[in-house]
Structure 1
Amino acid sequence: MPSYQLLSLDIWDTILRRDCHPDAIKVETAAVLLERHGGELQEAYRNPRALFRLRQDIERQLGAAKKAQGFDDEYAIQDVFRELLARAYREPLPEAAAEELAARLVQEELAAEKRHVYLDPDITAKIDSIPHERLVCISDFYADEAFLREVLTAAGFSKPLERVLVSCDFGVNKRSGRLFEEAEKLLNVTPAEHMHLGDNAYSDVEVPKRLGIAAERYLPAEEHKKREEREQNFVGDSKKPLQYPGAPLTGTDDVSLFFYGFVQNLAEEAMARGIKKIYFFTREGEFYKEIYDAMAAVSKRAYPKSYLLEVSRLATFMPSLREISTKELMRLWNQYSIQSMQALFTSLGVELEAVRGYLVRHELPPEEVITYPWQDKRVQALFADEEFLDCMEAERDEKRALLLSYCAERALSGAEEEIAIVDIGWRGTIQDNLCHLFPKTKMLGFYIGLIPFLNEQPANAEKRGYIDAFRSARALMTVSTPFEMICNSPNGSTVGYRREDGKTFAIRNCEQEEDAIFFSYTKELQKHIIETCAALCIYCENQLVTEFELRPLAWESLKRFIYEPKREAVKAYFALRHNEEFGVGSYVDRRTRFRPLLMALALVSKKKRKEFKDFLRDTTWPQGYLTKYRLYPLIGMYNRILEQYY
């Protein structure tokens, strides 16, 4: 082979290869803009692929404008982003802010390229096989030399490059041949001294040969086959993101899809906010953390560090009390306005024997159920009793010290920082308790769903409900306990804390019957969900399917689990005893009985229809009850009534 003064290389699909379709990188950048500034965009562009299509239009228009000026149809990435922001935003951004955001988007795209790029396995040997004096790259691309040098370095390309000559820097490209001419002029070489290597039959072979440059097409069979498969399998239809090869799921009949959407949403939001720590609350958070950790292990992105925080309403409410008073206890009584003193002190984690003498003194039988306890004169007298207040303050301070010690050992010490917390829902009262304990720490709470708050929200609390934006979310949240069952853990509920050998541990109370349901049903379902979520993470990252695009399907999978239950889930649910010690003061039995007479009378009596409807509601899973007794025709009717009502 002759020796050449100059060897020039194409970059994409020659030196560098992506593990995805090239357009997927642009979709990912669009998704970042949407995650961080979605509320500021016009409604039509609140979708990654809609932003991507807008970008394509802008690229064509900028290229045409350059051509009209006598250049080739080239454009620079920062110019594209400036125009994209100008068109996509509802209100024009100030020039300095637009410039800064455009620059940040360039960096986001650079980071995306680095995540998805790898070095062609045979390119180094190929370069070494061609005798040459000088080595450069010549590429048709919309980002400049510095950008491409960073990507080359990230991929591990170590050959010394004299220059990286890019079409966007010169306004001319390889397709016209003008970039080759500019390169030779700049580097002071003739076509006879120049050889070019690249994958494109036209711009890397036919055009340079026409100019007198030696050229060879570089198209290794195995890598080219992978590229064709990636481009063929690229998700082009955002409405059917799972209808492509390699998708772990193809429909919405698997509730794993919902859990993937929820966990991916919180991970992306935390990364966008620069949050470094995510705390998953027991009990349900144990399962969410397993999903999160499984996804983090296979993701190309650096997920924030995850922590398990063993907490409960019972374990955190008493330590969070700012004072011992009926006014402060309204945080509890706003939700449980009919309550016995026994249930109250169970909710506070206080042994009844420790306060029995005070209850006797104020003629308050522990088992007496009181409506609006704060209005009862005996309760008012109890909370005016200085001796009782001293006793309760000592209980609170002891519990608070233990909780603070436990949290500090898990890197939660009340510092001025923003953290994320994750729990199932539904009002986020555990988050409220911790916010009162740590007023300097801003807490962003991620929940499956939220219902209207009953208490004033702490200034340092922010909460997000994943399903809240869907029209019938409130209807679905009336049937939340079956979902709680599949998120359960066998490790019990946290009831307090203890010190041992200089460390603080959570005390957890297990219910044998509840755990039996976990091991007979929930455990295997959770294992399947965790594995499927990890597979979905790999698929969605490779295909650049965003959580935003999957959200409607995730919602549909949750609805199907609740509204169209499977018999194995129903069987497990109606054998369950559910922990309601906080507020109610006991476990609630979910077991039911068949009521054929009531159902028959409901056909002819309006009064009995209402009684039957109330009975169904009281089962806490009407659809499950109807499935249990094979009353399938009534399920669709009940679902329609429920959704219409809400």
Structure 2
Amino acid sequence: MTSILEKKFLDILNNDEIKIVSFDIFDTLFFRKCLLPENIFEIVGENTYVKKYFDTPSGFKKYRMYAEKNARLTNKHLQDVTLNLIYKELSIPKKAKEKIKQIELDIEKDFLVVNYDLEKYIDYSIEKGKKVILISDMYLNQNELKYVCLNKLKNIDKVSKIYVSSEYKLTKAKGNLFLKVLEEENIKPNELFHIGDNKISDNLIPKDLNINTLYYGFSNIQEMAFEYEKAYINKDIKQGNNVRKLAILRNPYEDEFENFYFNFGASIFGPILFEFSHWLNDLSKKYKIEQYNFILREGFLFDKYFKKLFPNTKTNLVYASRNSTFPIVIDLDNMSSILLGTQRAFTINDLYKSLEIKIKNKKILPYKNELLSKASLINIDNITLYEKIREDLVFRKSDISEKNIEQKALIKEYFTSLEISKKSIFIDFGSGGTILNRIKDILPKKQIPKINALFCINERGYEIQSKNQTLSFLPYNQETLKYIETISRSPEVFEILLNLDLSTTLNYSKIDNNIIPNALLSNCNKNTIYKMKEAFLNGIDTFFETVKIYKIKKNHYSRDFLVKLLARVINLPTKYEVNFFGNFEYDEGNGTNNIYKIVDKNKIDYVNNFMIEKIYFEYIRNRAKYRHAFPWIEAVIATIKPDFLINIYKEPNKNSSNLQVILQLLEKIDRSNEKEFMVYGAGDLFKELLPFLQDRNIKIISLIDSKAQLQEFEVLNYKVITLEKAFENINQSNLIIASGVFTKNIKENIEYFAKENNKRIEIFSI
């Protein structure tokens, strides 16, 4: 499918008035493998020679960034600076400057990768009889640009001229470099067509000059996803970012819904399924695996992309579910165990259906559509409905046993037909491996595989699998365990995405000596599932095509990074992810007719009646409790206050005890209904408190700190002054003490000041 961007490019290119096509260089014609341009400096700082002068990689990065800032201040008369002017600002010997500068150029060269799609655009332009030039705002000169990247272009000879800001001392950002191009090329604005990734300098500025433009960048939806990703992961990735970006830029969908699911497939599940497939293949060499058995429903996607990379491998799609394998473990001597399910949408009728019997008890029948979880709250004949059901199941034990024996035989026969051996492997999503354990209980010992695999496994999963050798793709370690718990207890978002339109296996029948799985197609997401599936799979396919073009090998993305990539979606969702995923319908895969939305209005109304900060703080202290009541509490919070979570994650001290102080302060502030305050304390706690005050439209009259006695200063665009100056022309005010440790001393000083100066100060503190 042709991308939206390529269609737009070709449409504009067909304009006969256009004589010259210009391309931006960085993040357009070339991508860096790493996440942020400045991360190159940290990689430079890892060099042994550089460490002689700067000790740590992050130390060099900081000094290199300030060197550029200082160079621009020193040369304010120039619109742009050169690499030489930047290195001139570093306080190291001249010889060292030259050597480190060359190290930086070598690393830039290694990290810059050609955008093959844009290379193709150059050829299209030449075929149409257009002249091709490059225009870039960059401190590198032409020779340096040719060294680090331009010589990698197969068609560099087709580029007529390079206009770079460091040489012309003019920039695209101010529009002057475009004017210089028009002058030197002797063309009118409408005869130039410029392509670039910067919304302002490559799009709005030239457009204002009547130059034709194509914004070659991300939508607001995708920009926000990357912003949230950076805040959450808070760590650079040194490779692969270019491939994810290019896969997204190949999006063919105009429709926002399809566009979103394509991008999600291309940027998140593409890399994950690519590495997962390679990991599974590596197991075949290590454990001599001859057959891969993917358990449906997630197994459909796992199998699809595994076969895409390894088409000659023998695979099976296994029709099995928690429901269909339940007869293996049912305890007929303890009917109470059957009632211990934790499903949110499982009704009493669903329970009887799962046991393959009908409700006959006239006392129970009127309640057949009640949730099983509510049965202990309903009384019948002086006992609970829960007890009534248990009594009925005991009474009907023989009926249940008959069906159970029949199903166990069918299950055994079904798995025998799959030709399972010790050289087989079962693959399931996770995270406890319940189905794997049940299969093991039914297979003859000689057929039980040596190992099995889960996409992810959590603490409970390790307990369940403690007697088996079950491997996990997503690694469980000290750093990743909190992310694994998030994914394994996720609000079914990933389960729905991976299950798509596939039906759930309920049980098995025998027809003409063949075992046939009986499956039920879910009624969930019926209006959107097929549209979503096409776009989502196209996104993953596009990623796979892109890695093939760039000859990407396995282990390109670390498994630790992929864990965080998935967990971010749940813990820090964008408003678009909340909108699209929150509207997912779910029936818990049990064939029930009871359907609920991942984020429903009742949950939003419930949280809205409380202080969001307090609920969030309680949630992070007891996630397990809230996960059952709220499938996705982060999405509920983001629905009410879209910026609440990102403001927490952007703060470096987001996990500190400051949050508890902030919650106590906000509780008092909210009760007061006041909207104007002074704040005493301009430190980290104030910086963390500020977004919450802004959310409440609270005006800060003055920011006060004792350090202002020596000299006034600024924090987050607020001038910090003394207590005396704040009350020069004011006799009364509300005042928040933004401190936890020194609150008592500060409060005493303020009260003393108020008494001595006859001021009325309402203090808000912990």
Please report the TM-score for the alignment, with normalisation by the length of structure 1. 0.50
| Structure of higher RCO (CA pairs closer than 8 Å, 6+ residues apart) | 1
Please report the TM-score for the alignment, with normalisation by the length of structure 2. 0.43
